[in-house]
Amino acid sequence: MDCRGSFCPGPITELFKAYRSAQLGDVIELWATDPAAKADIAAWAQKSGNELQNVSEEQGYVRILVKVTKKRS
């Protein structure tokens, strides 16, 4: 999901859209420039029991990988 240039709630909304259609084991990759995206997504992963697999600073944006390890349906 390329969310660069989109501010809260843009990146996390895109994450939820991907999560809604994801299967267990899928990895969601999200690119964001919103400074709040990293903390918001980390908090969501912790609360929902999903795995924040990797966060890396790229040139001008942050790349976030979330592995879907918990989902009701």
Partner 1 sequence: MEHIVVVGSGDGGTFTANLLASELGKEIRDGLVSLQLVGEHLEHPFQPGNLDIAFKGAAPRKYLRDESRLLRKGVEFLHDPAALIDFRQRMVSTKGGKILPFDHLVIATGAVADPTIIPGLAQGALNFHTGPEDSSKIWKALQDFKEGTVVVAIASAPHKCPPSPNEAAFMLDEFFRKKGIREKVRIRFLTPYPRAYPAERVSEVVAPMFDEKGIEVTTFFNVDKVDPEHKKITSMEGESFDYDLLIAIPPHHGADVVVRSGIGDSDGYVPTDKGTMKVLGQPGVYAIGDATNIPVSKSGVVAHLQSVVVAHNIVNEARGTHDELAYNGRINCPMEVGAHRAIFVSATYASPPEDQSPSTIKYIEKRSFAMIYWRALNGSLERVFDMFFGPTRFPVEELQEAKTA
Nearest CB to partner 1, comparing residues 18 and 65: 18
Q: For residues 2 and 17, what is the distance between their CA atoms, to the nearest angstrom? A: 13
Looking at the Cβ atoms of 7 and 63, the one nearer to partner 1 is 7
3 is catalytic: no
Query: Which of 71, 21, 22, 67 lies closest to 41 in space, CA to CA?
Result: 67
Residue 62: CB atoms within 10 Å:
20
Name the site residues for partner 1 (rule: CB under 8 A): 5-10, 12-13, 16-17, 19-20, 36, 40, 43-44, 47-49, 70-73
| Active-site residue list | 8
